[in-house]
Amino acid sequence: MAEEPVEPVIDPLLEEANQLFDQEKYDEAIRLYDKLIVERKLGAEPLFMKGECLSNLGKHADSITWYDKAIEIDDENAMIWNGKGNALYHLDKFDQARICFECAYDLDPLTPDYLLSIIETALLTGDLDDAVNMGREALNATEDTRIVVLSWAFSIIAMFLQQKPLNALETIDELVQYMRDVEREYIPGEKFTGAEYDLCGIEKLVGARARGATRRVLQALLSYMKGTIDTSEIEKIRIEESDNILIDDILVEVLPGESGEVAEVAECPDVRIIKNVVEQALVEQINGLVEEYAVEVGFQTFVFLFDEYDWNADRGPAPFLEELDNRFYIDIVDGKVVRLSIDVDLLATALIPEGEASSKPDGSAIERVGSLLSFHDLEELYITAKNLPDVVSVMRHASFGKDKEITLFVNVERIPSTQESLLPLDKIDEITGISEIPADYQLKGKRIVGSMVWTATR
C-alpha cells in the first residue's frame, strides 16, 4: 500500500511575512523576515525575501548585502541570482548585473526572462553581436508572444546600434508579419497589449545614442513593446521614416587617440565617449537644460579652462571656482565621468516648467538637480550655489555609489550673513576634511570658497 504524500509544513511567520510582501507592505514584512533571520530559520529564503523588500523600496545597494548572504547558503537558486542582478541593474552596474542574470539562466534555462535580462544588459554594455545572437536564441526557444516580441525588438535595437539600418528595418517587417499572423490565427480580434517588462535602461540607451528618424522608429518600437501602440501603428511609422534614416543617426563611441594624431585641447567635450549609457544620457540632459535656458554652450572641458590658471597649494581651485557662475565643466577619462562642475541655481531654474517660469526654484527643484547627478566614477565635484543647505540637498539626492568619497569644492554666499567660515558643515554627517581657501580669494567677503570630502550614502 502506497504511503500518503506528506504536505510540506509552512512556517506561519514566513507565511505572514510573504503575505505582507504580496500586499507591498515591505517595511512590515522586513521586521518579520528579520525575526526569522535572527532565529536562523528556513535557510536562504528570509534573507532573499528581505533583499526583495529592500529592492522594491528602492534601496538597491542595501538589498545586495542580503542577496549575497542568501547566495552563501544557496548558490543554486536562480531567483536569488536574478534578484541581485536586478538590484545591480538599477545601480547602473550592467556588467555585474549581466553575470548574475547568466547565473540565473544557467540554473533555470526554462525561464526566458533571465535570457531577456542577459540580452538587455548586453545591449547596455555594448556587446551588440551577443545581443543579436541571444535574441535569435530566445526566438527559437519559445512561442510565447511576449517573449518573441521582446527578443525580436532587442535584436532590432542592436542592429540599429551596429549601424545596420537595412537589417533592422527588414527585421521590423518580419516582426510585423509574424504579429499579423498571430493576431489573425491565434487571437483574432485582439491586439498585443505589451510585454510588461522594465524598459528604463533601454529607453535611456535610445535617448543617448539615437537621433533623427532612427530615434523615432526606436521610440515607436519601445511604445509597441509597452503596449501603447498596436501593430498597424509600428508598421506605419516604419514606412514613414524608412527613407529618412541615416547611418549617422546613431552616435558611435569614439575612443580618444584612435587616429594616432596629437589632439588639440577641445573647448567642448564629445560626450559620446562616455561608456555608461545612462551617465551619457544624464550629461546630455544637463547639457540640454543649460543650452536651452541660459547660455549658448553647455559643458566645456576642464582642461580648456584649467590651462589658464597656475594651481598651487595656496590658491588651490579658487581662481577656477570664481569662473563657475553659470558655467559647466566636465572631465571624461577612459570613457568615465571623473570630474564635474555645476551651477545649482541655474539648473534648478531650468527645471521649472514653462508655465511657472517666473517662480523661483523650490526645494523640490533643488532635489531634482541632485537626481541628475548619478556618476559612479566621479572623483571631484565643483558646485556654485546661493547657500550651503542647497549644496547638501543636492548631494543627498545624488547617486555616486554607497560609501564612495567625493572631493567636493563649493562656492557659496555667506548664509547667514554673520557666518564667517565653512565650519558649520562639520555637523553634517557625510562631510569630513573641510578646508577653506585663503580669504583673499573669497570674492571680497561675500562668498565662501572651500573644499571638503563627501561620503555618499547612495
Predicted confidence (pLDDT) at residue 99 exceeds the cutoff of 90: yes
- Percent over 70 (pLDDT), the chain: 76
Output the pLDDT for position 66: 93
Cell reading at 107: 540554473
What's domain 12-247's superfamily in CATH?
Tetratricopeptide repeat domain (1.25.40.10)
Q: According to the per-residue pLDDT averaged within each range, which of 79-93, 171-185, 257-271, 324-338 is highest?
A: 79-93
With both helix axes pointing from N to C terminus, report the angle between 212-226 and 165-185 in degrees, rounded to the nearest 10. 30
Predicted confidence (pLDDT) at residue 374 exceeds the cutoff of 50: yes
pLDDT grade for 5, boundaries at 50, 70 and 90: very low
C-alpha of 195 from chain center: 21
| pLDDT tens, position by position, 324-351 | 666 787 888 888 888 888 888 888 888 8
Mean per-residue pLDDT, 386-393: 83
Determine contact, residues 160/242, Cβ cutoff 8 Å. Answer: no
pTM across the whole model: 0.56
Cβ within 8 Å of residue 81, ≥6 positions away: 71, 100, 101, 103, 104, 107
Output the pLDDT for position 263: 38
Output the pLDDT for position 64: 93
C-alpha of 186 from chain center: 38
| Radius of gyration of the chain measured on its C-alpha atoms | 26
Output the pLDDT for position 319: 55
C-alpha of 302 from chain center: 24
Higher pLDDT pick, 369 / 361: 369
| pLDDT tens, position by position, 248-268 | 778 755 333 333 333 344 556
pLDDT grade for 146, boundaries at 50, 70 and 90: confident
> What are the extents of the domains in the chain?
12-247, 271-455
Output the pLDDT for position 257: 33
pLDDT grade for 195, boundaries at 50, 70 and 90: low
